[in-house]
Amino acid sequence: MNQPRKGSEYAGLSVAIITPLKDNVLDVARLREQVEFQIKAGTTCIVPVGTTGESPTLSHEEHERVISETVQICAGRVKVMAGTGSNSTAEALRLTRWAAKEGADASLQVAPYYNKPTQEGFYQHFKAIAEDVELPICVYNIPGRTGKNIEPETICRLAEISNITMVKEATGSLDQCSQILNSTNLTVLSGDDSLTLPMMSVGAEGVISVVGNLVPEDVIAMLSAAAAGDFIEARRWHHKLFPLCRDMLGLSTNPIPIKTAMRLVGRDCGQLRLPMTQLSKAEEAKLRTTLTTYGLL
């Protein structure tokens, strides 16, 4: 019998939640509604202050408050994987220490962005955080946002560190996903909703999802079917979800489409912060059509 992978307790649906804003400050009441919606749906893990949570435009104090409020609302009912990454190792350490102190269950660590470290720089960055804080760490590899890939060989080195347990794989490369699964004991979670099923076909165990903000039960149905080896049923769900997944990341930059979709379905999470701007009228009309076809409007 195969041994479970490190981090396998995070298999299933993790949702990268939106940071709801009202008059440009955190809307705690709406945050509570979002979290309760996810818990009721059966979501495995809540992921606050990732890219979907507009972390680049939150102050450190706001970032910390979103983590604290999310942990308190969840109250141990579901896991919390706090987004605490940065392109500054010192800043990532500060945020990760805060998350650990506040009771988060794990940390999502995005690859340092913009300054484009060497592979050795990536290794030393994640190693420093893992050795400082005991939380399980999910390495988030998204070169389309960060400007540089964490190569599979570097992920293999990182896998030797005990509390680096997961990879959020958003390279778009099934080969890279396969190489990580083939060479390490890490749990791989999809970082791109439309590629979740293909990745699960080679051994990924779930997703950190954007579209899960809207239809968590449907994503869970696809994941459960795939985990059970019923790829006919999983494929049916994949094709139902695909237009929604495509629009969430294709119409405009995340989280612009998902925040718009939440407003359109009656779960308004407030304004976007600059430099994020609203969808154009044509883009919103297309999104409305997709939501209507899906049955959400």
Q: What is the mean pLDDT of residues 175-184?
A: 98
Predicted local confidence at residue 64, as pLDDT: 98
Is residue 167 a contact partner of residue 150, using CB atoms and an 8 Å limit? no
Asked if pLDDT for residue 1 goes beyond 50, the answer is no
Q: What is the mean pLDDT of residues 109-131?
A: 98
Distance CA 69, CA 158 (A): 30
| 9-228 is classed CATH 3.40.720.10 | no
For the chain, which residues make up each domain, given as ranges? 9-228
Residue 130 pLDDT level (bands cut at 50, 70, 90): very high
Residues 6+ apart with CB under 8 A from 225: 231, 233, 234, 237
Predicted local confidence at residue 297, as pLDDT: 96
Residues 6+ apart with CB under 8 A from 111: 85, 122, 139, 140, 141, 142, 143, 146, 148, 150
User: Catalytic site residue 140?
Assistant: yes
Predicted local confidence at residue 27, as pLDDT: 98
Point out the catalytic residue in the list 10, 168, 259, 294: 168
Distance CA 187, CA 205 (A): 7
The tens digit of pLDDT for each residue in 36-79 reads 999 999 999 999 999 999 999 999 999 999 999 999 999 999 99
User: Catalytic site residue 294?
Assistant: no
Q: Given the DSSP bridges, would you call strands 25-26 and 21-22 parallel, antiparallel or unpaired?
A: antiparallel
Is residue 91 a contact partner of residue 121, using CB atoms and an 8 Å limit? no
Predicted local confidence at residue 199, as pLDDT: 98
Point out the catalytic residue in the list 10, 123, 140, 294: 140
Residue 3 pLDDT level (bands cut at 50, 70, 90): confident
- pLDDT over 70 for what percent of the chain? 99
Asked if pLDDT for residue 290 goes beyond 70, the answer is yes
